[in-house]
A and B are shown apart, each in its own frame.
Chain A
Amino acid sequence: MRAIEICSIMSSLTLSDLHPGDTATIVAIHAEEALHQRLLALGFRSGKQIELIRTASFSGPLQVRIGTTDILLRRNEAAKIKVCRA
């Protein structure tokens, strides 16, 4: 088994746990239908590389990058996206 598979089964790391500058791979998205659709439309898919660019102060939203797209999302939305550190 490759590291990423082990991670996808074992770990409970989510996008909201990452620190600015971290790169990770999306493993799963556990969001309700509407949010799931919106995330898909913005390029969130399992297997995709995602980079956390920065977080806003006062536990504000996160700025993440998938490919060439930058996206803002709140921490509780980010917590629904399971990732594995690259």
Chain B
Amino acid sequence: MKRIALLGMPNTGKSTLFNRMTGGAARVGNWPGITVELLSGRILLGSDMVEIIDLPGIYDLHGFSDDEQVVRHFMHDNVPDLALVILNATQIERQMSLLLQLKQLNMNIVVLLNMADEAKKYGISIDSRKMSEMLGMPIFLLSGKYGTGYPDALQAITKALRYPTPGMAEQLRSQLEQDEHIESEMARVLKHAVQVPAQLPESLTDKLDRVMLHPWLGLPIFFGIMYLLFQGIFFLGQPLQGWVSDALGWLRVTALDPACAGLPAWLSGLLLDGIYNGVATVAAFVPIIILFFLFMAMVEDSGYLSRAAFLMDALMAKMGLDGRGFVMLLMGFGCNVPALMGTRVMRSRSLRLLTMLVIPFSLCSARLQVFVFITAAIFSPHAAPLALFSLYLFSFAIAILTALLFKNKFRNNEPFVLELPPYRFPTLRQMLLRGWLEVKHFLNRATQFIIAGVILVWLLTHLPASAAPASAGTLAGMIGSALHPIFAPIGINEQLTIALIFGFVAKEIVIGSLAVIYGSSGEALGSALGQQLDWVQAYSFMLFTLIYTPCLSAIATLRSESKDLRYTLLTVMWSLGLAWAVSFIFYQGARALGY
């Protein structure tokens, strides 16, 4: 009896065609050379009975996946009289490779281009006559339900089977044996050098995961870890920040003040009160930034982030996002820009846009500096970490709110499939390397933005020269009072308004510019703020800082990643509007309650 092998890539409609040809009368059978069973059926073609075998779908005839080996072994030991190759016409440019691999074997081939009607809808036109001529084999277009093309194809198959193919079997075998040689070599090395137990023994990862991914404890543990991390950063970072700040202050008093004594007043003002104070205030944050990134590197390298995706996916799905989006939000705590770029792993554009809309609300390390400084200045040492943590909760809440409001606009059904790596203890070297890279990045930004920023702030607060520095008569004062009607209802005064304008460029400048505006740095700036602001104003300012546009780099990234100006404008307008609205509700609400 003649044999027809049905070959093609997965999802080409191969099995549907097989069922149609055999009328569903298939049987499962064993074949020489292979250990898995294959479906086959017998049909009458012309005047002869032939057997059709449905081979597993494969991408590559010379590949080494299980299915690819099965196909090769089958063909070696049961050389078919005809290969019936099914290609998906909509993916013809990708599927052609398999056909050409089969052609190289010098087999007797009939090609069916399936889903021809669908291909037509995509505007793909295939000249089957021309293609048939070039490849030297009969090619037929089949439409979706084989309404057309099927009888012609059957006729061609019958005709092709009529002619014997002398020498084909030997040629085919010798070609397939080259791949078999690789297979046996692979098997030999694996057998002697590698041992994989059928059931893996319970590893440390399994034991840890039983607690960390526990149905009830998993989420509380996750939030507990996050809380401890930020507490730890605060606890360890604050004294360091104090020492650096004291050291920089001491340097100014003992070395820089005398050195600049001979300079004109305006120049020493610009150098010391402007650049030095601004940069020193920001530089004091370097220890906290280092700690933050060390901890982030530890969490990231440990493999815990994928666990966070697992724990949070159900909740994220309700917001139209997925577990990966949650991981991006966490990455955004470091810096929003790489987190925005990280969304490239998502295939669905809607899911990407929604995730990118949400990421800028992640409380990034630049905003962290602002909040660490202001909470320390306004709140008691006991309340400051709590105030900071509450801002992290706000960061999440705003992200959730935004996702919920926009999830219908950015609908998607992207699958969520992710590999879960085992826990790895991050090495000190890795952590230090990561921490150092981030600090370098921070210092780069500092030289780019912060120095230019503080100089500009100094000029704005000291020009025109006739006005008293930082008074209402300066340029900064004028801008502040022009914007006063917008910012007064949310409790933000003129000086803070200037800082917010600069924060639009980069949040790293905010504290530096406050240092310049108030003409003092470090603790002196803190107490100046503490005298001028009550906690409600300060918190309203922090809320606004948290929610409005993170920085120019983030906007530029949103623009380049989305390639959509309107979307970029939407993100900017939405965050500005929301920042104002949330601060307004908070400020007016707190005042109404008597705070």
Interface residues on B, range: 35 or more
Please tell me if the beta carbons of B65 and A74 are within 8 angstroms of each other in the complex: no
Q: Mark A1-24, 1 if CB is under 8 A from B, else 0.
A: 110010001000000000000000
Q: How many residues of A contact B (CB 8 A)?
A: 40
Expressed in whole angstroms, the Cα–Cα distance for A20 and B415 within the complex equals 21
Please tell me if the beta carbons of B66 and A58 are within 8 angstroms of each other in the complex: no
With A61-B313, A67-B196 known as contacts, the answer to whether A5 contacts B37 (CB < 8 A) is yes
With most chain A CB atoms within 10 A of its CB, the pick from B65, B306, B417 is B417
Q: Which of B313-367 contact A (CB under 8 A)?
A: 313-315, 317, 322-323, 347
Contacts of B315 in A (CB 8 A): 58, 60
Q: Mark B275-317, 1 if CB is under 8 A from A, else 0.
A: 0000000000000000000000000000000100111011101
Expressed in whole angstroms, the Cα–Cα distance for A33 and B59 within the complex equals 12
Q: Which of A46-76 contact B (CB under 8 A)?
A: 46-48, 53-61, 63, 65, 67-74, 76
* Interface check B10, CB cutoff 8 A: yes
Contacts of A32 in B (CB 8 A): 11
Contacts of A33 in B (CB 8 A): 11, 91
Please tell me if the beta carbons of B317 and A74 are within 8 angstroms of each other in the complex: yes
Please tell me if the beta carbons of A47 and B36 are within 8 angstroms of each other in the complex: yes
Please tell me if the beta carbons of B28 and A63 are within 8 angstroms of each other in the complex: no
Q: Which of B179-229 contact A (CB under 8 A)?
A: 196, 200, 209, 213, 215-216, 218-219
* Interface check B67, CB cutoff 8 A: yes
Please tell me if the beta carbons of B314 and A56 are within 8 angstroms of each other in the complex: yes
Contacts of A61 in B (CB 8 A): 310, 313-314, 323, 416
Residue from B10, B306, B415 in contact with A73 in the complex, judged by beta carbons closer than 8 Å: B415
* Interface check B263, CB cutoff 8 A: no
- Output the least CB separation between A5 and chain B (Å): 5
Q: Give the 8 A-B CB pairs with smallest separation, nearest first.
A: A60-B314, A58-B314, A70-B420, A72-B418, A57-B215, A73-B417, A74-B416, A35-B415
14 extra A-B contacts, CB within 8 A, seeds A38-B415, A57-B314, A71-B420: A5-B37, A35-B417, A36-B10, A40-B59, A45-B65, A47-B66, A48-B66, A57-B216, A59-B314, A60-B310, A63-B209, A67-B196, A72-B313, A72-B323
30 example contacts (A-B, Cβ-Cβ < 8 A) are as follows: A2-B37, A36-B10, A38-B417, A42-B417, A42-B419, A46-B56, A47-B36, A54-B213, A56-B213, A56-B310, A56-B313, A57-B215, A58-B314, A58-B315, A59-B314, A60-B315, A60-B317, A61-B310, A63-B420, A68-B196, A69-B419, A70-B420, A70-B422, A71-B417, A71-B418, A72-B420, A74-B313, A74-B317, A76-B415, A77-B416
Interface residues of A (CB under 8 A from B): 1-2, 5, 9, 29, 31-36, 38-40, 42, 45-48, 53-61, 63, 65, 67-74, 76-77
